[in-house]
């Protein structure tokens, strides 16, 4: 069974296994890629779990599972949301004919501007060294920054920049390269 098939099956099982009421559904696109992600709070202690699938026209797919401990602001305070944790990307790189996984640690932040409560800035940063990467993948790093605007109480649109870089095991697959790099835009719906 290929990594790509395992990724699609994992996403389908995750959606079926979770209760019908979602917390966040996020869809974004760039010139060559589309990503669909689902994130759910799992209790009042700040844990959230999620999964997503990024499909790139030329390069393949990345299926990811993620777990974060999130500090949510109290009502009436400045809206700075911080999350630390990690993700496990399952990578199928068609361009290099490489497959693998990584355990990437990192975090995310989301800051709602106090004077403009419909506008926010957000960022994500994740890193996996070679010791937490398997098969053909020898390292993974991802960062993204974006500006958001809340168009409805439970829906936001955003525009940002994202970079996902892969490192490979052994010299036969070539140097590190960007799997995804560029401007992206999306829609986030909270339920």
Residue 17 vs residue 58, higher pLDDT: 58
The arithmetic mean of pLDDT across residues 105-110, rounded, is 96
Residue 21 pLDDT greater than 90, yes or no: no
pLDDT in tens, 150-182: 999 899 999 999 999 999 977 666 778 999 999
pTM higher than 0.75 for the full model?
yes
Whether the CB-CB separation of 164 and 179 falls below 8 Å is answered with yes
pLDDT (tens digit, 9 = 90+) per residue, 111-149? Answer: 998 888 899 999 999 999 999 999 999 999 999 999 999
Q: How far apart are CA 164 and CA 55, in angstroms?
A: 13
What is the dihedral angle through the alpha carbons of 59, 102, 134, 171, rounded to the nearest 10 degrees?
Answer: 50
Q: Is the predicted pLDDT of residue 34 greater than 80, yes or no? A: yes
The per-residue pLDDT for range 75-103, each reduced to its tens digit, is 656 688 899 999 999 999 998 889 999 99
Question: What is the residue extent of each domain of the chain?
Answer: 3-190
- For 10-24, what is the mean pLDDT? 54
Q: Is the dihedral of CA 153, 55, 15, 46 positive or negative?
A: negative
Task: Band the pLDDT of 16: cuts 50, 70, 90.
Answer: very low
| 3-190 CATH fold | Lipocalin (2.40.128)
CA distance 13 to 137: 25
| 40-69 per-position pLDDT tens digit | 988 777 899 999 999 999 899 999 999 999
Segment holding 14, helix H or strand E = helix 3-17
For residues 133 and 100, the answer to whether their CB atoms sit within 8 Å is yes
Other CB atoms closer than 10 Å to residue 62's CB: what's the count? 28
């Amino acid at each position: 069974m290929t990594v790509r098939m395992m990724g699609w099956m994992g996403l389908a099982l995750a959606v079926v296994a979770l209760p019908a009421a979602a917390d966040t559904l996020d869809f974004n696109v760039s010139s060559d890629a589309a990503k669909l992600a689902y994130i759910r709070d799992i209790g009042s202690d700040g844990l959230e779990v999620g999964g997503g699938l990024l499909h790139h026209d030329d390069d393949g797919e990345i299926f990811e599972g993620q777990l974060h401990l999130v500090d949510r602001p109290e009502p009436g305070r400045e809206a700075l949301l911080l999350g630390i944790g990690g993700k496990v990307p399952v990578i199928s790189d068609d361009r290099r004919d490489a497959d693998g996984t990584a355990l990437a640690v990192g975090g995310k932040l989301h800051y709602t501007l106090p004077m403009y409560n419909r506008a926010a800035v957000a960022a994500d940063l994740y890193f996996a060294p070679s010791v937490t990467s398997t098969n053909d993948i020898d390292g993974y790093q991802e960062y993204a920054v974006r500006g958001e605007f809340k168009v409805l109480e439970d829906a936001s649109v955003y525009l940002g920049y994202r970079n996902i870089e892969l490192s490979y095991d052994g010299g036969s697959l070539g140097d590190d390269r960007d799997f995804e790099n560029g401007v992206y835009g999306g829609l986030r719906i909270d339920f």
